[in-house]
Chains A and B, each alone.
Chain A
């Protein structure tokens, strides 16, 4: 039994039924982004054979690991009906922490632990603001972004010091065959998340809170606890992504998290995750990541004019989202 039957399982009274919500429809929705990614991959084999070069696949996997981890975190927050616009700031902060602690000759493990602790702290604050103070997630996490970025600037005076330790770099640059360690970490976490979301009680509670917090409360689910834990996990995953991206870039770039806020949201939505909460899964979200990165990769390989590249990316994403919404609406009728 997966989360599809959750509401039917819960002793709900007075709950609004979800129209047309059947397991086979959900399966279709999850399969759609995966199918889309497979179709694109097949087309690429014919149209852009360079895509399948080992070196290109290796680069794609490196990039997938980073965006994949951030998107998995974003997925959890979106599932509980939230959104996290502070993931990019957490990634930036992770890089700064690693670089500064490296400059002070601190042990690498200590700096990694500090990064994760920072991500957890940011997530915890976000979660508490959203759950206990009813601050809209958009505002809470945007405010948190300003706090984290401001703290970085105050501490570094705008000039980040230090270097990325060379012992960290193999996490992103080396691996088993062409598969980087970072991807193995990402897939491992994704597999655990798939299991938790589909089989675990925690996963069911996440979907329940996302679909209807009121109903979840009536069946004695701690909506505060579930929301806070979703934000905490999102923060921790963003910090992990920041660590891996730092290892990949190998340079102190204080804006390393740049557009990961929007990219992670776009990937999750492309993968069938709903803004309204309670809808979507890890496999779909990762398919969305794959779709987005393949698109970016192909556009880069195509050597189109940079302005045209932006248009192509935008049009393809809009078409994909429209198609997804159309099929979703059809399946809900």
Chain B
């Protein structure tokens, strides 16, 4: 009887251990909370589509939180994401200062935090994946200075004053231009990442009668506005242009109008790297504290000839590189196929 009882207990313990071991060994589906910029523009739409596809490919359960393109609306979404206690959180920060607290709280709870495309005011995160415009603009500005033969007027159309990305763009640009005193920078104003404003500012600058030997635009919208203003003003040849970010539309305008142009990438397709990094971190792999997207070959600066990057079958809103991740039907689903 005692032996029987011992056998039953022993079997029960063995079964419990076996169940415990097997459940621990079971490959658990990683859960990643993706707090995106959200429904706001084509860049964000591509960022989201790439993130979703990457998560599916990697077998990740992706919890999506929509920042609605606004830091104040994104903040409660971050709180909701943390409350789900995911294994990792991929955050596209819209408020550098406001998002700092929640990021530190998530880290304290053991959630891996991958910052995608922007920083927060803290070093307490798992990994930062973003382009580095401060360094990536240096070779672009050098390229433009060379095209200008290191002299003449350079029309500058800025981004959004005080914006973190704009500041980084300006750092690299100013660093280079300081070296060439014979290049006179003409400030055309801030386009605030608006094509319409960039076009109006450039049209005014052109109409002033000044001739420009080069143009620089902060943001894809500025570059597009600059080129569109030149096209409509019938001033030929259109001076060489450099700036960011590389969209199919800015490439089209440059190619159609024979403009020598060089562009930095701020690719929404980098959400692929963000999700991959999150999964690596969940799996216990060591991930770099900072991943400079601009240094990766797929996301490097674009130089002439630009025809190799332009995709005529897709709309102007396509960012270079998105079509490397999304197939034709996936691009069509987000209105990127003509």
Q: Which residues of A are in contact with B by a Cβ distance under 8 Å?
A: 50, 53, 55-56, 58-60, 62-63, 153, 156-161, 163, 173, 245, 248-256, 258-259, 296-297, 299-301, 303-307, 309-310
B209 touches which of A50, A63, A297, A306 (Cβ 8 Å): A50
Given contacts A159-B336, A251-B195, contact A153 B208 (CB under 8 A): no
A301 touches which of B195, B204, B315 (Cβ 8 Å): B204
Within 8 A of A (CB), among B93-152: none
Complex Cα spacing A296 to B205, Å: 11
Complex Cα spacing A255 to B199, Å: 13
> Does A161 contact B196, Cβ atoms closer than 8 Å?
no
> Does A245 contact B40, Cβ atoms closer than 8 Å?
no
Q: Which of A157, A159, A248, A297 has the most CB of B within 10 A?
A: A159
> Does A59 contact B336, Cβ atoms closer than 8 Å?
no
Chain B residues with CB under 8 A of A59: 200, 203-204, 206-207
> Does A258 contact B187, Cβ atoms closer than 8 Å?
no
- The number of residue pairs between A and B whose CB atoms lie closer than 8 Å in the complex comes to 120
> Does B228 contact A55, Cβ atoms closer than 8 Å?
no
Residue of B nearest to A153 (CB): B39
> Does A306 contact B189, Cβ atoms closer than 8 Å?
yes
Q: Which of A53, A153, A158 has the most CB of B within 10 A?
A: A158
Complex Cα spacing A255 to B201, Å: 16
> Does A307 contact B232, Cβ atoms closer than 8 Å?
no
Chain B residues with CB under 8 A of A251: 195, 199, 224-225, 228, 249, 316
Chain A residues with CB under 8 A of B207: 53, 55-56, 58-59
Residue of A nearest to B203 (CB): A59
Complex Cα spacing A251 to B249, Å: 9
Of the listed stretches B41-49, B82-90, B175-183, B292-300, chain A binds B41-49
B334 touches which of A62, A63, A159 (Cβ 8 Å): A159
B232 touches which of A159, A173, A253 (Cβ 8 Å): A173
Complex Cα spacing A234 to B232, Å: 29
Residue of B nearest to A252 (CB): B316
> Does A300 contact B201, Cβ atoms closer than 8 Å?
yes
Q: How far is the CB of A95 from chain B (nearest CB, A)?
A: 9
Given contacts A258-B196, A300-B201, contact A55 B209 (CB under 8 A): yes
Given contacts A56-B208, A161-B335, A251-B224, contact A303 B186 (CB under 8 A): yes
Given contacts A153-B40, A306-B189, A309-B189, contact A253 B200 (CB under 8 A): no
B190 near A: Cβ within 8 Å?
yes
Chain B residues with CB under 8 A of A163: 316
> Does B209 contact A307, Cβ atoms closer than 8 Å?
no
> Does A159 contact B45, Cβ atoms closer than 8 Å?
yes
> Does A158 contact B42, Cβ atoms closer than 8 Å?
yes
Chain B residues with CB under 8 A of A301: 204-205, 208
Chain B residues with CB under 8 A of A296: 204
A158-B45, A256-B194 are known contacts; what are 7 more A-B pairs with Cβ within 8 Å? A59-B203, A159-B336, A251-B228, A255-B195, A256-B195, A303-B186, A306-B161
> Does A309 contact B187, Cβ atoms closer than 8 Å?
yes
> Does A157 contact B316, Cβ atoms closer than 8 Å?
no
Residue of A nearest to B249 (CB): A251
> Does A253 contact B188, Cβ atoms closer than 8 Å?
no
Complex Cα spacing A253 to B201, Å: 15
> Does A249 contact B45, Cβ atoms closer than 8 Å?
no
Complex Cα spacing A250 to B232, Å: 9
B171 near A: Cβ within 8 Å?
no
Q: How far is the CB of A68 from chain B (nearest CB, A)?
A: 14
Q: How far is the CB of B143 from chain A (nearest CB, A)?
A: 23
Q: List 29 A-B contacts (CB under 8 A).
A: A50-B209, A50-B210, A55-B207, A58-B207, A59-B200, A157-B335, A158-B40, A158-B45, A159-B42, A159-B334, A160-B335, A161-B315, A161-B317, A161-B335, A249-B195, A249-B228, A251-B224, A251-B225, A252-B316, A252-B317, A254-B41, A255-B196, A259-B192, A300-B189, A300-B208, A301-B204, A306-B190, A309-B187, A309-B190
Complex Cα spacing A55 to B335, Å: 37
Chain B residues with CB under 8 A of A252: 316-317
> Does A157 contact B334, Cβ atoms closer than 8 Å?
yes
B196 touches which of A50, A249, A304, A309 (Cβ 8 Å): A249
Given contacts A158-B45, A258-B197, contact A307 B335 (CB under 8 A): no
> Does B189 contact A299, Cβ atoms closer than 8 Å?
yes
Given contacts A55-B206, A156-B335, contact A305 B41 (CB under 8 A): no
> Does A250 contact B228, Cβ atoms closer than 8 Å?
yes
Chain B residues with CB under 8 A of A157: 39, 45, 334-335
> Does B249 contact A300, Cβ atoms closer than 8 Å?
no
Within 8 A of A (CB), among B36-61: 39-42, 44-46
Complex Cα spacing A307 to B170, Å: 13
Complex Cα spacing A268 to B317, Å: 35
> Does A258 contact B194, Cβ atoms closer than 8 Å?
yes
Q: How far is the CB of B335 from chain A (nearest CB, A)?
A: 4
Complex Cα spacing A282 to B102, Å: 51
> Does A159 contact B196, Cβ atoms closer than 8 Å?
no
Chain A residues with CB under 8 A of B46: 159
Q: How far is the CB of A263 from chain B (nearest CB, A)?
A: 11
B158 near A: Cβ within 8 Å?
yes
Complex Cα spacing A184 to B69, Å: 38
Chain A residues with CB under 8 A of B190: 306, 309-310
Complex Cα spacing A251 to B208, Å: 23
B221 near A: Cβ within 8 Å?
yes
Chain A residues with CB under 8 A of B208: 50, 53, 56, 300-301
Q: How far is the CB of A7 from chain B (nearest CB, A)?
A: 41
Residue of B nearest to A95 (CB): B196
Q: How far is the CB of B129 from chain A (nearest CB, A)?
A: 21
Given contacts A50-B208, A304-B187, contact A158 B161 (CB under 8 A): no
Lowest 5 CB-CB distances: which A-B pairs, in order?
Answer: A253-B195, A55-B207, A158-B45, A56-B207, A161-B335
Complex Cα spacing A2 to B315, Å: 53
